[in-house]
Structure 1
Amino acid sequence: MKEITDYREKQVLVLGLAKSGFEVAKLLLTLGAKVIVNDGSPLEGNPDAEALAAQGVQVVSGSHPPELLDGTDLIVKNPGIPYRIDILQAAQKRAIPIITEVELAYQINEGRTIAITGTNGKTTVTSLIGDMFKHSAKKGYMSGNIGYVASKVAQTVDAADYMITELSSFQLMGIQEYHPHIAVITNIYSAHLDYHGTQDEYVKAKMNIFSNQTAEDYLVYNLDQRSLLADYEVSSRLIFFSTTDKTDGSYILDDKVFFRDEFIIDTADIVLPGKHNMENVLASVAVGKLAGLDNDAIRKTLTTFSGISHRLEFVTEDRGIKYYNDSKATNTLAASFALDAFQQPTHWICGGLDRGNGFEDLDAHISAVTRMYVVGETAEKLTAFAAEHGIPCTLCLDVKDAVNQTAAYTKSGDVVLLSPACASWDQYQTFEVRGDAFIQQVGVLCRQNV
């Protein structure tokens, strides 16, 4: 960990406890800061809050008192907290800097940074790259939005190592000096408009990933979306990936994967399922080669890595019915990939947080859907969508209820697919919690059938 003195005797407000707030508060104490933690929810009895208080951290919960800004030199905010809340609006008027914890992680990281963002595929790409490092002689540490707090991971990274960080648009809005040696943008589609307000603001947040790069760095980018770069200055070296065109990067030709004309692997040997995953593979191959990983390490991953939890995850087969958990499909594009993966009669469990969007993007992807089971805030919209397409629809209380309802309609050869096309936060704390609820109830249902 780099020895930095920037935070000594500085008053830092950590806004939002959660996992990242807890770790960043501890790190700031180590760096000599005076730390205040503020969370809008009550924290009585919270073990993390109690642990911080025992170390001298002032913990304020239940509201965001404006007087917390008095004497504050910096705010480190939880990425999910929108800038429109009163305390952040007031901080901006006072010109108090606001960052997210990945900025702090970058400042203490001794190694090189690989950063991955995008609307879809970023978790898969991060996992693929992390797995490639595991099979190589080099060390790479996964962090960020994938579930490992970046400011904690950064403390263990040495100068010869790589820190591999998945970044959301929320995190990228809170960077200042953040400077990845290799940046990846998998794709950009419409998402998170409830947070960003407009698509332009969402795109701008994503493009922050390369804002501090220089000619010594790399930007790995989807060739199909090259036009989105027209409004941005790219100082780094552009490395494209494409499933359809030969390019100066990674591409497919005659069912083989190449990087800059170097053969890497036959596509038939790649075990990760789904056509959409081929772009993720190509992005990961490009990063692996740029980071100096040998082809054996890259091939080992591509011939063994079969996917990640909650992303088109096969759960079980019971009485000839197959169950798939795709809870990470929090938007229509991700759901379209899952729906396209099946030709069998599909029982589609969907719905969740209403972000104001419609579902017409899925019109061309529902040919195999024989019944919909809708949940959450978007249930009414999805019921209307089902009626428009003549698909029988069942209104359900939650994912558990939806699993139970499928028992009345499924038969051998069918697929039950949880692919919500919506975020989880109306009923579940995270998409992982939602997916786990699905898996657990599938297990209950199958045991009842014994």
Structure 2
Amino acid sequence: MTDPLHGKRVLIIGFGRQGRSLARWLPTVGAKVIVNDGRDEKTLNLPQDEYAHVRFVLGDHPVSLVEEADIVCVSGGVPLELPLIQAAYKAGLTITNDAQLFMERCPAPVIGITGSAGKTTTTRLVGDIMQQSGFRTWVGGNIGDVLLDVLPQIAPQDRVVMELSSFQLELMTNSPQIAAVLNITPNHLDRHGTMENYTAAKANIIAHQRPDDMAILGYDDAGSHALEEAVCSQLLWFSMR
């Protein structure tokens, strides 16, 4: 089956861990890829042979790149206030990221975990539980593997456990089948500006679930508890009391 990105012009902004994974994966589905990063080639230490089908625009973020793109993929940590990204929004382009593209294509159930604290430990623990329960399990997202790199190996009977940060979630319009919000306390306000914006980003992990999906919220944490009204799936609480 032809991927929806086949023939599309995709602009990747930011060439860190997630951007490099996107630059490897997108050509395999027939996308035409441009990578943009404010750093220069020497700083990035580009292995040219690995990205032979990718065009690089480095050292600046020219707004004119919007005219050469159908879709923009933003790497984690790249501020959405960047003029190039704002121009893409104004032009009506789709703005997405690696986590969203993965979840749109993943054949296996996804367990997504977020929170201001404890999400990495919890993600690893849940991954171990799934593995010990007999499932072939893939753990990644904001930790470990960038899951697009292993997407072709994932089977429907597997399980995927993803740590999802607010940076990833703020762009997402898909939610995992099982989504846990451990806690929400002030964090990354230099990026999100206000606590309301930060909470809204976190809430995306449950906002797009289906009625038969499951949302897991922390009963004891005021920030997580406050998301109860946003739940559109089955709700399960956890508590330390």
Task: Give the letter aligned to residue 190 of structure 2.
Answer: D
Select which of 32, 37, 40 maps to 1:39: 37
Contact 1:106 1:154 in 2 (8 A): no
CA shift in 2, pair 1:124/1:4, >3 Å: farther
In structure 2, distance between residues paired with 1:165 and 1:238: 19
2:170 maps to 1:169: no
User: What is the match of residue 128 of structure 2?
Assistant: 131
Q: Secondary structure at the match of 1:90?
A: helix
What displacement does 1:130 show? 1.0
Q: Secondary structure at the match of 1:238?
A: strand
2:27 maps to 1:66: no
Q: Secondary structure at the match of 1:60?
A: strand
Select which of 89, 93, 99 maps to 1:96: 93
Q: How many aligned positions are there?
A: 239
What displacement does 1:20 show? 1.2
Contact 1:105 1:152 in 2 (8 A): no
In structure 1, distance between residues paired with 2:113 and 2:120: 8
Matched ranges for 1:46-445 at <5 A: 46-48=44-46, 50-53=48-51, 55-176=52-173, 178-224=174-220, 225=222, 227-229=225-227, 232-244=229-241
Contact 2:130 2:159 in 1 (8 A): no
Task: Give the letter aligned to residue 21 of structure 2.
Answer: E
Task: Give the letter aligned to residue 48 of structure 2.
Answer: E
In structure 2, distance between residues paired with 1:162 and 1:109: 10
In structure 2, distance between residues paired with 1:16 and 1:51: 19
2:24 maps to 1:13: no
In structure 2, distance between residues paired with 1:52 and 1:64: 23
In structure 1, distance between residues paired with 2:166 and 2:92: 22
Task: Give the letter aligned to residue 107 of structure 2.
Answer: E
Q: Secondary structure at the match of 1:89?
A: helix
- Structure 1 stretches (4+) deviating beyond 3 angstroms? 45-49
Q: Give the aligned CA root-mean-square deviation in angstroms.
A: 1.6
In structure 2, distance between residues paired with 1:45 and 1:202: 31
Task: Give the letter aligned to residue 212 of structure 2.
Answer: E
> Per-residue displacement from partner, 1:59-82 (whole Å, max 9, x unpaired)?
111111111111310000112111
In structure 2, distance between residues paired with 1:227 and 1:216: 20
User: What is the match of residue 24 of structure 2?
Assistant: 26
What displacement does 1:131 show? 1.1
In structure 2, distance between residues paired with 1:10 and 1:141: 28
Q: Identify the structure with bigger relative contact order (alpha carbons < 8 Å, sequence gap 6+).
A: 2
> Per-residue displacement from partner, 1:333-381 (whole Å, max 9, x unpaired)?
xxxxxxxxxxxxxxxxxxxxxxxxxxxxxxxxxxxxxxxxxxxxxxxxx
List runs of 5+ in structure 2 lacking aligned partners.
none
Q: Secondary structure at the match of 1:44?
A: helix
What displacement does 1:154 show? 2.7
> Per-residue displacement from partner, 1:53-104 (whole Å, max 9, x unpaired)?
4x22101111111111113100001121111111111111111111111011
What displacement does 1:4 show? 4.6
Contact 2:76 2:168 in 1 (8 A): yes
Contact 1:22 1:48 in 2 (8 A): no
CA shift in 2, pair 1:49/1:99, >3 Å: farther
In structure 2, distance between residues paired with 1:171 and 1:43: 26
Task: Give the letter aligned to residue 163 of structure 2.
Answer: E
Contact 2:96 2:171 in 1 (8 A): yes
List runs of 5+ in structure 1 lacking aligned partners.
245-450
Task: Give the letter aligned to residue 158 of structure 1.
Answer: A
Which one has the largest radius of gyration?
Answer: 1
What displacement does 1:116 show? 0.4
Q: Secondary structure at the match of 1:160?
A: coil
What displacement does 1:227 show? 4.3
